[in-house]
Each structure stands twice: as structure tokens, then as C-alpha cells.
Amino acid sequence: MVVLSWVISYLIGSISFSYLISKKIAGIDIRSHGSGNAGATNTLRVLGKGPGIAVLLLDALKGLAAMGITHLLTADPLAYAVSGMFAIVGHNWPIFFGFRGGKGIATTLGVALGFSPLAFLIGAVVAVAAIFFTRYVSLGSLLFVTILPIVLFFQDKPTSFFWTSLVLLLFAYIRHYENIRNLLSGKERKLGDKSYRKLG
């Protein structure tokens, strides 16, 4: 049941809502526009607030759905935590879309909520504040994944949650490698940057 739940989690994560929504409403492959990333931020930049928010929520739900199904199939906390990781792997490298996905932050939001509503809330507040004041979505994303294991460490949660959150942090930093370089060099694009032109 554990392995089955992980396979299901990966397949759920592999549903690329940014790709599906962009195809449906604009007839485009979102990966060929903007930053080329199949995620909520690029959808926001290319298609606007409505589609961007829809992708954010649906991608977050993928993480929660994967963990919920695993909880129904097995009571093992490790299996529950790792299923969230597999949902993120599916989002980043989706089998249905040529293994070209996003960076996993929206799905990580759902997984974090499944770990701890408090850790999610603290991370989200810090991330939103960082994005609001700097307009760097990547900075907010990296702060969120950095705060998550710190808060989990001090909570009475299964240790598997903490260790899995460290893996998620590693995933995020690897996927944001170019963003980190751009942030350090002052070349990172800000939210609302006119170099990204919304379709229509």
C-alpha cells in the first residue's frame, strides 16, 4: 500500500494545471512563454491574476490530495510525508508532459499545510511579506521552504516530517539555482516586470 500511495502521489503531482489551463483559455503551451516555467507565477505573468491564482490553488491541492490518499491507505507517518515529496517530484518532472514541469513551490505549500498548519502559516506570512516589499517571488519561495523545517523542528510532529521538509528545501534550492544567481547579481526579474508581457 505504501508504494502504491507513492505512485499515486507522483501521478497526481504530474497533472500540470498551468499547462492545461493555458491550453484551454489561450491555446498556448505556458512553457513556451514568459520564464518557460510551468507554474503559478509564470501563469500569473503570462495570463493574469485569475489563471495564476487558479493554478496556485490547484497545484497546492495536489500535495494535500496525495497526502490525504496516503493517509487513507496507510497510517505510516513516513509514507504520509514522502507522498507529499512524490507529488512535488511529479509536479517538477511530470510523466504526462515530457518531464518538463514547474519548480514545485505551490505544491510544497499544500504539503506544508499537510505537515503543520502553523508552519505553513508562519512561512506564508514571511513569504508574502518578502514578496510584497521586494517583489521577488523567488525570494519569498525560498524563505518559505527555509522556514518550514525550522518550525517543524520545534513542533511535536513525527520526525519524518522534519527530514522530508529538508529534502523539499533541497529540491527548491536546486530548482531555483538560476533565480539565486540572479538575486545575488541583482538581475532577478520582479513581479510586474514589464519584460514579461501578459497575453492579450
In a domain, 196, yes or no: no
In a domain, 198, yes or no: no
Nearest-CA neighbor of 169 among 154, 151, 189? 151
Tens digits of residue pLDDT in 34-76 = 888 999 999 999 999 999 999 999 999 999 999 999 999 998 9
| Contact of 123 with 135, CB cutoff 8 Å | no
Reply yes or no on whether the pLDDT at 195 is more than 80.
Answer: no
In a domain, 194, yes or no: no
**pLDDT range class, residue 1, cuts 50, 70, 90:** confident
Average pLDDT over residues 160-172: 97
Tally the domains of the chain. 1
C-alpha cell at 22: 493555458
pTM of the model: 0.93
In a domain, 38, yes or no: yes
In a domain, 197, yes or no: no
In a domain, 64, yes or no: yes
In a domain, 83, yes or no: yes
Structural domain for 21, as ranges: 2-185
**pLDDT range class, residue 84, cuts 50, 70, 90:** very high
In a domain, 191, yes or no: no
For residues 156-190, one letter each, b for 16 or more C-beta atoms within 10 angstroms of the residue's C-beta and e for the rest, the string is: ebbebbbebbeebbebbeebbeebeeebeeeebbe
DSSP 35: T
pLDDT at 193: 73
pLDDT at 191: 86
Average pLDDT over residues 118-128: 98
